[in-house]
Copies of this chain bind each other. A is one copy, B any other.
Amino acid sequence: MLKGKVLIAQGGGPTAVINQSLVGAILESRKFPGIEHVYGALHGVSGIINEDFLDLTKESTANLEAVAATPCSALGSTRDKPDVKYCQEISKVLKAHDIGTFFYIGGNDSSDAARIVAEHAEKSGHDLTCIHIPKTIDNDLMVNDHTPGFPSAAKFVASAFAGINQDNAALKGVYVGVVMGRHAGFLTAAAAGARLYDGDGPHLIYLPESTFNMANFVKDVKSVYDKYGRCIIAVSEGIHDAKGTPIITSLMKNIEKDAHGNIQLSGTGALADLLCDQIKAKSGITRVRGDTFGYLQRSFLGCVSDVDAIEAREVGEKAVQFAHFSGKKHGTVTIHRTGNYAVEYKLSPISDVAAKTKVMSKNMINKDGNNVTDAFMKYVTPLLGSGGLPTVSRLDRSNAVPKILAKKKK
């Protein structure tokens, strides 16, 4: 049962709708009469040990709603991974401020942080309720059908490729777009949402779920190019060779890792440039362009799936309800698809999700490992939102004017 003070924090990479979850948890908490204050910790768990708290009880509802519509973590984020000493500091601060409930909004690494904090509380006899609220554009949390943040990022990626498809049809050539995704290819696969007409790109999609082979890649590109005079390729930043070594690491001298041991894949255009160089060198195609979508994917202003915004709000609200009504001390809110399309929410054990990675199931990827299947399209389409993507239309090519000079030449 909720009473006294609750604390909310946000961890890991921001998303377009993570503030919906924050605001959902704040407003829902304030509906329970036992709640005196709702605190927010700045920059995730690091804000707890530094006692950097905002009293969110003092926010107006109008401003909270405006914050909910703003992309990226309003409380700030962190990549810190708590160890035992870190947890002792957290306990100390939470006890000092008389905080009985902690909501942590984040992905795999943040859910693992929540697990560590919850387990330490259990062991040390600290009476703390700890609920993890899911978010990640990578869509790679176990148990969940999908995760808040993914649908909006998927809409961004599909919208980007829909535009790129028009651009590349106007000025033909090869285009490589590198999309975020370390182990799971969901976001890259969402590029397929851009296809509307026959021959539309992306024509090839490479995912971390499959082994990447450079020779096959160049062969695939050449084959599409020979057919359409152009080729659009979506590639996950996390593509790797048969040994599991990311293709990008073959390029980088100083490999940067975060506290969770993750190699830096984003924030560099190196992989797109490598792939373009290989295509130019080995296929003889001259106009080859590469873009790395980078941080725009998780933060771009004004690209939100309404389905995502609603669900992100709801996981925040449900976290508070589970904390009050479920009778359980800890857990993670999980999203389950029911029907086509609706969802329901459950409180699952944090350890079922923490530090684990869900990848695309085999039936979502084609045999050659260079495209997605109809099963994936069925999965992803309702997530892009009620309006789908903006319209893409083209001129009727059947209205060709008969050639006069070419006729005379015969």
Contacts and interface: CB of A to CB of B under 8 A. Distances in A.
- 5 A-B pairs with the lowest CB-CB distances in the bound complex, closest first: A269-B269, A267-B289, A291-B294, A163-B299, A72-B166
A54 B295 contact: no
B296 A296 contact: yes
A93 B402 CA distance: 12
A3 interface: no
Interface of A: 10, 13-14, 16, 39-40, 43, 51-56, 58-59, 63, 66-67, 69-79, 92-93, 96-97, 159-160, 162-164, 166-167, 169-171, 175, 256, 266-270, 272-273, 276, 286, 288-296, 298-303, 389-397, 399-401, 403-406
A43 B272 CA distance: 27
Contact of A301 (B54, B59, B392): B392
Nearest to A73: B170
B66 A391 contact: yes
A77 B171 contact: yes
Contacts of A55: 399-401
Nearest to A159: B301
Number of identical monomers bound together in the oligomeric complex:
2
A221 to B, nearest CB: 15
B394 A67 contact: yes
Nearest to A166: B72
A87 to B, nearest CB: 15
B299 A53 contact: no
A58 to B, nearest CB: 4
B167 A54 contact: no
B399 A169 contact: no
A181 to B, nearest CB: 16
A267 B279 CA distance: 13
Given A286-B256, A289-B266, A302 B303 contact: yes
